Chains A and B, each alone.
Chain A
Amino acid sequence: MAAVATCGSVAASTGSAVATASKSNVTSFQRRGPRASVTNDSGPRLVSIAGTRPSVRNGQLLVSTGLPALDQLLGGGLAVGTVLLIEEDKYNIYSPLLFKYFLAEGIVNGHTLLVASAKEDPANILQELPAPLLDDKCKKEFDEDVYNHKTPESNIKMKIAWRYQLLPKMEIGPVSSSRFGHYYDASKRMPQELIEASNWHGFFLPEKISSTLKVEPCSLTPGYTKLLQFIQNIIYEEGFDGSNPQKKQRNILRIGIQNLGSPLWGDDICCAENGGNSHSLTKFLYVLRGLLRTSLSACIITMPTHLIQNKAIIARVTTLSDVVVGLESFIGSERETNPLYKDYHGLIHIRQIPRLNNLICDESDVKDLAFKLKRKLFTIEVDFIS
């Protein structure tokens, strides 16, 4: 009885547990099960969040990046709580595609989106997302696109290994929305009703910041400070870090930051080699990773690393991110006319894969990967020639 009185002032969850114990009068030990939690449902349930799956290696919760080929290269997907850094190609044509695939995957799975950009209005970015290929009637177009590029040799019937002729030509095809990775049609836009049904937050830097702020040295650029505060507010208010447990079902927050480090964010690492706030970007990434690790979110960042003057900053940025993928397009370089690369539009370099709760990482054996943007699909293939 005295125990109940002293416990009267503690938090509601423990108080109610004690109350039920005194009601049953047997023991204060509570079994976690469906019949035990009558008063509140603060007991943890094994609820699976839409669009995620545990990794087959170590059970880490993974989300899809929007490109099943990239998921496979990263060892199943992007782990929740990590940062995917895309090093932009020189003319910034292919990295926005990967950015949009990530966001489109979030909309299809019903995740919450947070889009931050200093260049374009986030509402405009969302209007340009690719349409998902969901039904079987789209499977025909998908297969057509693939068959158009088949070489003549592969049409010969196999005489010795004829059992393999009966296998389906594609391992993964367009799937329904309950599966993990989806295919997108880059030539069509996402339907308006899907975008409006989704929950998204936008951060457009010119609207959020006045241009006459004074920057103290050795601190974060005001743009970065505002962005971090914005992300922190969203995470807290919508309960992605578990701070509002009574709210509705748990969901993933997908954060997309475009062109981080460019001068439009107010950062001068692209302009000068030893600028005044050269640690601003690294501090931002450090704080961002802290925010991500304590919440159910995944982040994609595109960065114009080819413009960064100080190469040491690129090395620091790589260390502070989890997954780093570099895109190198052939436009304007001498490789464009090289006949060995004529089928492809560029090379894709997987520069870093994280070791999360693990001693080794899921590195794939192939290092020579090339990508090409077909009329509808973005594919990543192993480049056998080089």
Chain B
Amino acid sequence: MTPSEGARAGTGRELEMLDSLLALGGLVLLRDSVEWEGRSLLKALVKKSALCGEQVHILGCEVSEEEFREGFDSDINNRLVYHDFFRDPLNWSKTEEAFPGGPLGALRAMCKRTDPVPVTIALDSLSWLLLRLPCTTLCQVLHAVSHQDSCPGDSSSVGKVSVLGLLHEELHGPGPVGALSSLAQTEVTLGGTMGQASAHILCRRPRQRPTDQTQWFSILPDFSLDLQEGPSVESQPYSDPHIPPVDPTTHLTFNLHLSKKEREARDSLILPFQFSSEKQQALLRPRPGQATSHIFYEPDAYDDLDQEDPDDDLDI
């Protein structure tokens, strides 16, 4: 959970980063920026899911089909189902497209699937859709598509759905990005330092605490992933300025701590309202130095000093 864990975990991990991203299903948000582009990671994920035997649909809106398919070998290219919305986004040529409703219609049609094969839908890019469609409609459709398999009743018929969305962070304000990230199951933010790309992965499993980790990687020309260590040796930004734990009792004007001797003295003290056997003996024993008790009395003017005992009249 802490960044130090992520830096240590980059070395010798058996579970591939791509596997973990695709395993959870749901909406996977890839947030990239101008310096660290995310399309190559998207293509790496597409290649991985195609090799796993899943059905892969691509909604290509931002780049042309040739540019997207570049770098994939023919085996993978044959497995991709490509829906091209780049060449004719407003459907002016009026050809018989498979999805007449535009990209939104295509997504809605995918909501009504019934086969058990797991499906990966890659949106290239989600930013393009967000700029042209109302955000609420897009959120509702994405939620419907990515949550088809979450009903416990009839989950046997529909396979797992993963929706990979490429989002260019700099194009949108905090509102739409926040709304989409609250819907996403996994959020990958691309960044890096000194020529090394890193991915900060935040996994939100339902009803569990989110886990995050940072992974340094680079993408090879054939779109497979190469995991790497971070650029510097175990740099842990949170513990660099070492802050000692705060002890609130250090600068007081009175003493809150007891030394061992003081503690023993305190424990052996007999409290005034405790009636123990020692106290009982102390009360019963006559005190040394005070054999009898004296009463000192000064007679008043009105006192009647009669030496007779008034009880003598009684006939007992």
* A274 → B minimal CB distance (Å): 11
Given the complex, which residues of A lie within 8 Å of B208, measured CB to CB?
93
Report how far A331 CA is from B246 CA in the complex, Å. Answer: 21
> In this assembly, does A218 line the interface, its C-beta being within 8 Å of a C-beta of chain B?
no
Return the contact of B143 from the options A91, A96, A264, A272 (Cβ within 8 A).
A264
Instruction: Select one of A124, A128, A264 contacting B139, CB under 8 A.
Output: A264
Mask: chain A, 105-122; 1 = CB below 8 Å from B; 0 = not: 000000000000011110
Q: Report if A271-B182 is in contact (Cβ < 8 Å); known contacts: A160-B271, A211-B140, A331-B209.
A: no
Q: At the interface, yes or no: A340 with Cβ under 8 Å from chain B?
A: yes
User: Given A124-B152, A272-B135, A332-B212 in contact, is the A119-B178 Cβ separation under 8 Å?
Assistant: no
Q: Quick check: A272 and B152 within 8 Å, CB to CB?
A: no
**Among the listed B136, B174, B204, B209, which residue makes an inter-chain contact with A263, where contact means beta carbons less than 8 Å apart?**
B136
B220 within 8 A of A: no
Among B2, B152, B179: residue with most chain A CB under 10 A: B179
- B144 near A332 with CB under 8 A, answer no
Q: A91-B204, A263-B136 are in contact. Are A270 and B179 (CB under 8 A)?
A: yes
Is A176's CB within 8 Å of the partner chain B?
no
Are B176 and A271 touching (Cβ within 8 A)?
A: yes
**Does A318 lie at the interface of the complex (its beta carbon under 8 Å from any beta carbon of B)?**
no
Partner of A307, one of B2, B141, B143, B182: B182
A 241-271 contacts with B by CB, 8 A: 262-264, 266-268, 270-271
Q: Please give, as numbers and ranges, the residues of chain B lying within 8 Å of A91 by CB-CB distance.
A: 204, 209-210
Verify if A352 is at the interface (C-beta below 8 Å from B). Answer: no
**B302 interface residue (CB < 8 Å to A):** no
- Smallest beta-carbon distance A140→chain B, Å: 27
Question: Is the pair B140, A121 in contact by a Cβ cutoff of 8 Å?
Answer: no
Q: With A and B bound together, what is the CA distance between A160 and B210 in angstroms?
A: 48
Instruction: Decide: A307 and B178 in contact? CB cutoff 8 A.
Output: yes
Closest to B244 in A: A339
B135 and A159 form a contact (CB under 8 A):
no
The CA of A198 and the CA of B277, in the complex, are separated in Å by: 64
Question: Which of A96, A267, A271, A340 meets B175, CB within 8 Å?
Answer: A271
A263 CB contacts on chain B under 8 angstroms: 135-136, 139-140, 179, 183
Q: Mark B124-165, 1 if CB is under 8 A from A, else 0.
A: 000000000011110111011000001110000000000000
Told that A92-B182, A127-B152, A307-B175 touch, could you supply 20 new A-B pairs with CB distance under 8 A? A91-B209, A91-B210, A93-B209, A96-B207, A119-B143, A159-B274, A211-B137, A262-B139, A262-B182, A263-B136, A264-B139, A264-B140, A267-B136, A268-B134, A270-B178, A272-B135, A307-B178, A307-B182, A309-B174, A332-B212
A-B contact pairs, 29 of them (CB 8 A): A118-B140, A119-B143, A121-B151, A124-B151, A128-B207, A160-B271, A206-B144, A211-B137, A262-B139, A262-B179, A263-B135, A263-B183, A264-B136, A264-B183, A266-B140, A268-B134, A271-B135, A271-B136, A271-B176, A272-B135, A272-B173, A304-B182, A307-B178, A307-B179, A307-B182, A309-B175, A331-B210, A332-B212, A339-B246
